[in-house]
Amino acid sequence: MTISGEFLAFISLALVAVIGGVLLLNLTKVVHMVVGLVFTFIAIAGIYILLSAEFLAVVQILIYSGAITIIMLFGIMLTRHNDEESDSKGGGWKKVLLFLGVLAFGAAFYIGIYNLDFGTEPAALHEKNTEQLGVALYSDFVIPFELMSVLLLVALVGAIVLSRNDGEKEGDKE
Amino acid sequence: MTGVPVSAYLALALILFCIGLYGALTKRNTIIVLISIELMLNAVNINLVTFSKFGMNPSITGQVFAVFVIAVAAAEVAVGIAILLSLYRNRKTVNIDEMDQLKH
C-alpha cells in the first residue's frame, strides 16, 4: 500500500483538528480554549482545500479564525471570569453519563458510515471553483441569497440593540 | 478514485461533532458553549462539502449550502455575544447554570 500525498495531508490536518478540539475540552483558561480552537478552524480550511472547495477554505479562515474568534475574545475581555473553571457541584456523574451518551451517539453513527461509498466519480469542482459557486449563487439561489442579506441586517441591528447600554433604566436587579 | 475514502472525511466530521456536543453539554462558561456550537456547525459543513464532491449527485450545491450555513453561524454568534453582554450587565455572571431567571 502506497501512501499518497493527499492521504498524508488529510491525516495531519485531521490530527491538528482533533487535537484542537481536545484542547478546547481540557484546558482551564477560557482564552487558551478559544486560541486552541483556532487550530481546528485552520485545519478545517485545509480539509476544504483537499475537498476542492478553495473559496470555502478562504471564507473559513476569514470568518471563523478571523471574525468569530475575535468576537469571542472581545466577549471574554468584556466580562469577568473567575479562571480555573471549577467543577460544579456533583458534576462527576453527570459528566460520565454525558460522555457515555456522546460515545454511544458517535458509535451509532460510525457504524452507519464506516464503509460508505457511493462509487461515483468526484465532480470537477476545483476547476474555476469560485466562478462555479458564483454562477450557482446568482442563478439558482438568488432568493435565498437576498434573504440571507436581510437576515444578516436584522441580526446585526438586533445585536446592537441588545448590547446597547441605555443609561436611563440602569438595571440593578441582582 | 482518490486516495482518501469518503468515510474518512465523514469520520473526522463525526469526531469533531462529538467533541462539540460534549463541550456544549458539560462546560459552564457561556462563551465556551457558544464556541462549541460553532464547532458542531463546522463539522456539519465538512459533511456538506464532502457530499458535494463524493455524494450521489456531485455538484456545487453542497458548497453553496455551506456558504449559507457560515452566514447563519456568523449572525448567531453576533446575537449570542450581544445577549451574553446584556446578561452580564444585569447579573454579573457568565456561568450558564446561574442564568435561570425564567425558572423563578
Asked whether residue A64 carries a pLDDT value surpassing 50, the answer given is: yes
Q: What pLDDT score does A84 carry?
A: 53
Give counts: helices (H), strands (E), chain B. 3, 0
pLDDT at A82 over 70: no
- The nearest CA of chain B is from the CA of A120 a distance in Å of 7
For residue B29, the Cα-to-chain-centroid distance in whole angstroms is: 16
Q: Does the domain at residues A1-82 carry the CATH identifier 1.20.140.10? A: no
Q: What percent of chain B has pLDDT over 70?
A: 98
| Domain at B6-103: CATH architecture | Orthogonal Bundle (1.10)
DSSP letter (8 states) at residue A89? T
- Domain boundaries in chain A? 1-82, 127-164
C-alpha distance from B37 to closest chain A C-alpha (Å): 12
- Output the nine-digit C-alpha cell for B55: 455524494
State mean pLDDT over A70-90.
Answer: 73
Is some CB atom of chain A closer than 8 A to the CB atom of B32? yes
Query: Residues near A111 by Cβ (< 8 Å), separated by ≥ 6?
Result: none
Return the higher-pLDDT residue of A88 and B36.
Answer: B36
| Dist. CA A148–CA A146, nearest whole Å | 5
- Over the Cα atoms of chain A, what is R_g? 22
| Chain A residues with CB-CB distance to B33 below 8 A | none
CA nearest neighbour of A50 among B69, B96, B53, B85: B53
